Every structure is written in C-alpha cells, then in structure tokens.
Amino acid sequence: MKHSYTAPPMSTAQRELERVRIVYEEDAVLRRVQTILKERIHETKIFEQSLALKSNLADLHNNELATLNILEDAGALEKDLAREHNRLTHIISLLGDGLLVIDNRHRILLANTVAATLLEIALEEMLGKNFADISTIWMGDRKLSMEERFDTQALLTGKLISISPKDTIFIETKGGVKFPASFTIAPFKEGEGAQEAVILFRADNSTEKNRRKKQPTA
C-alpha cells in the first residue's frame, strides 16, 4: 500500500514569504515585459525616424535637382539676354539718329555714338549723367527752363512728344555748339509719371556749318 506524501502545513511566516516570492517574480516578469516593450517602442521610433530621414533626403535630393534645373534655365536665359543685348546694341549703333534712354531723373541709361557725337561728349562719359547737364534746349531765342523742356514734359505726362525742324527748336552742347534739331520722345509707360523715356534726335545740315564756325582759325 502506497502512502502519499503530504507537505506539512506552512506557518504564517512561510506563507507570507511565499507570497512575497510570487509577487517578486511577477514584478520581475512585468519589469522584463516593460523593458521589452520600451525597446520595441524605441526601435519603432528609430525606424520611423529613419523613414522620415529617408523621406527628407529624397525631398532634399528632389529640391537639389529642381534647383539645378532652375540654375540651368537661368544660365540659358542669361545667355539669351546677353545675345539679345548684343543684338540690340548692334542695332542701336547702326541708327542714323542720336538715341538716348533716360530715367525720370533725366539720367542717361543708354546712348549711341551718334548722340555722343552730336552732344560733343564721349559715349562712356554720358552714362549716368543728367541729360539737362550736357544739353540746353532753345525755342527760337528763348532758353527753355527745366520744367519747359520736352523731356520733362514727356516724363511727367507719359505722352509722346514729336518736334520737327519747323518748330525752330535748338539743342546747345556744353561746348557751345547750337544746332536746330528734330526729335521724338517716347515714354516707356503711358500715363502720368513715366519712369523712363527714349529720345531720338537729329540735326539738320546747318549743324556742320555751326561746328566749323566754333572752330578757332589757324
């Protein structure tokens, strides 16, 4: 006949120790689970950050490509503008009339060699100068004031002004040469307060006579 072993009953102290052991083991398991969860969460965050970084790098790469395309387009545009500028400069140099472009402060922004010759000033010296400082405009024997000048009126009103030889208008250079002139002043912007204007002017055949009169005799 077999006898079953029956553990002796635990004392109150033993039961308390057993309970503490179980609680400790459960707590240890929970801590381990928490540690694993934290590691997984951390790994997930790192993964998400990695994906975000890859996305940002891709965006940066795309932006770099877009920037390069813009720079290439800008370079091509700059070359086109340079060609257009050279073409325009060549056309201007072939004009038979004097040409000036002035701003609303009468500063000369652009000029051709004909204008420089008529106004008796080197072309490179004209740029940036005030047109009124290197020329005087006369109507018959009366010198026009700054407010009366046709370039002033064209800039103020924004209207095209055309002067023919019969209007007895003269331009006098700083060197004292005075010649009858016909000219057209066309503002770039119609309406009051134009910012820039183009001036085309020419002298009649008496100009060379006036120039010769001003030259000292030997």
Domain residue limits at 71:
14-94
More confident residue, 64 or 107: 107
> Quick one: 61 and 127 in the same domain?
no
- Per-residue pLDDT of 122-180, as tens digits, reads 999 999 999 999 999 999 999 999 999 999 999 999 999 998 888 899 999 999 999 99
More confident residue, 142 or 79: 142
> Quick one: 23 and 86 in the same domain?
yes
**Domain limit, last residue, from 32, 67, 94:** 94
Residue 163 CA: distances (Å) to CA of 57, 62, 90, 152, 191: 65, 59, 26, 14, 20
At 44 the pLDDT is 66
Give me the number of domains the chain comprises.
Answer: 2
What SS3 state is found at 128?
coil
| Identity of the amino acid at 101 | V
What letters, b where the CB count within 10 A reaches 16 and e where it falls short, cover 165-184? eeeebbbbbeeebbbbbbbb
Residue 20 located in a structural domain: yes
Residue 150 class from Cβ within 10 Å (0-12 exposed, 13-18 middle, 19+ buried)? buried
Which helix (H) or strand (E) is 67 found in, with range? helix 12-94
The token pair at 211 is 């120039």
Residue 1 located in a structural domain: no
pLDDT band at 48 (very low <50, low <70, confident <90, very high): low
- Per-residue pLDDT of 27-46, as tens digits, reads 666 666 666 666 666 666 66
**Domain limit, last residue, from 76, 94, 112:** 94
At 164 the pLDDT is 86
Residue 211 has a CB neighbour count (10 Å cut-off) of 16
